[in-house]
Amino acid sequence: MVDSRETLPGAFVAGFPIRHSRSPIIHNYWLSQFNIRSHYEALEVSPDQLPQFIAELRKGQAWRGGNFTIPHKEEAYRLADRPDDLAKELGAANTLWLEDGLIHATNTDAHGFAANLDSELPGWDKVTSAVVLGAGGASRSVIQSLRNRGIKEIHVVNRTVDRARQLADRFGANIHAQPLPALSEVLKGAGLFVNTTSLGMDGSEAMAIDFSPLAEKALVTDIVYTPLKTSFLAQAEAQGFAIADGLGMLLHQAVPGFEKWFGHRPIVDQTLRQRVMDSMEHHG
Ligand code: ATR
């Protein structure tokens, strides 16, 4: 029997700019693994072009669906017909697909965060207290993930404490906003410490952090993956804590989209991780 999906068009990631997106490597790897005759490509779509692009997507002739990245996540959410609860809470969508002529949307970042830790630091969600450094867009998905996994106490520490407060208000009673000077106090006894800031990214000035107030077996992770071992992770490791890098979040957040578009749930394996790492060596 011929799989009718094979005759349908492929999927995409749309961003502006879109240079160096790793998503085509990930999805094309899975397409060939499942022997699916389709394709996934990176498209440069400007903010001006986005409404027209989504109108075309809705017609169902050009694409099965796709990913939306910076700066389109908020607008993609607004233009979708059926955003799910995850996307609604974040006010942003990164994955859209067609179903019954309507554009459905979700945000898979919280899943990517949790699935990466499930794989790298199993048992990570058994902690009672977690600390999240940063209160930008990326921090939201992390907070959503921690709260949805039932972590009782979540401290969001940010240079601009107002931004942390806005997130605390949005995500519920267990979330506490803290200014940067409160960091060592809230780290006391915490079992999980997550960096979501760009501090130390691409060689920028790193902040010296004393991890010692953390619980003895605390876990430390960073959602930044360039470089793979950020200054934050290197310091945590040197101080004796188990660490997980952020590349797995990128790989795992791609899983639900592939399944929606192509009907198979893919696996994040070591070969895929290596392919993406190789591409980073070439493009920085
Ligand atoms: P993203 O959407 O990737 O999370 P963002 O919205 O620009 O990016 O947020 C960046 C985060 O890094 C913020 O929490 C920011 O703190 P402010 O809200 O106070 O700006 C944090 N950050 C960036 N540079 C920083 C620095 N030099 N010191 C402390 N925090 C910094």
pLDDT in tens, 59-71: 989 899 999 999 9
pTM: 0.94
The answer to whether residue 151 scores a pLDDT higher than 50 is yes
Question: Which is the closest atom of ligand 1 to the Cα of 159?
Answer: 19
pLDDT of residue 95: 98
How many C-beta neighbours within 10 Å does residue 96 have? 32
283 pLDDT band (50/70/90 cuts)?
low
Instruction: Write the residue with the smallest CA distance to atom 6 of ligand 1.
Output: 136
pLDDT of residue 9: 86
Residues 266 and 260: their CA atoms lie apart, in Å, by 11
- pLDDT: which is higher, 60 or 283: 60
pLDDT in tens, 11-45: 999 999 998 899 999 999 999 999 999 999 999 99
Q: Ligand 1 centroid vs 23 CA: distance in angstroms? A: 24
pLDDT of residue 258: 98
- pLDDT: which is higher, 9 or 266: 266
Q: Is 67 in the pocket of ligand 1 (CB under 6 A)?
A: no
Q: Is 253 in the pocket of ligand 1 (CB under 6 A)?
A: no
The answer to whether residue 2 scores a pLDDT higher than 90 is no
User: How confident is the prediction for the chain on average, in pLDDT?
Assistant: 94
The answer to whether residue 6 scores a pLDDT higher than 70 is no
**Percentage above 70 pLDDT, the chain:** 94
pLDDT of residue 4: 46
pLDDT of residue 38: 95
The answer to whether residue 73 scores a pLDDT higher than 50 is yes
pLDDT in tens, 123-150: 999 999 999 999 999 999 999 999 999 9
DSSP string, the chain: ---GGGGS--EEEEESS-TT-SHHHHHHHHHHHTT----EEEEE--GGGHHHHHHHHHHTSS-SEEEE-TT-HHHHHHH-SEE-HHHHHHT--SEEEEETTEEEEE--HHHHHHHHHHHHSTTGGG-SEEEEE--SHHHHHHHHHHHHTT-SEEEEEESSHHHHHHHHHHH-TTEEEEEGGGHHHHHTT-SEEEE-S-TTGGGPPPPP---TTS-TT-EEEES--SSSS-HHHHHHHHTT-EEE-SHHHHHHHTHHHHHHHHS------HHHHHHHHHHHHHH-
Q: Is 200 in the pocket of ligand 1 (CB under 6 A)?
A: no
pLDDT in tens, 155-202: 999 999 999 999 999 999 999 999 999 999 999 999 999 999 987 665
What average pLDDT does this structure show over 265-283? 92
What average pLDDT does this structure show over 84-94? 97
Q: Which residues are catalytic?
A: 73
For ligand 1, pick from 156, 167, 178, 197 the residue to mutate: most ligand atoms within 8 Å of CB.
Answer: 197
pLDDT of residue 207: 83
Instruction: Write the residue with the smallest CA distance to atom 5 of ligand 1.
Output: 136
pLDDT of residue 62: 87
What are the residues whose beta carbons fall under 8 Å from the beta carbon of 273, sequence distance 6 or more?
247, 248, 251
Number of residues in the chain: 284
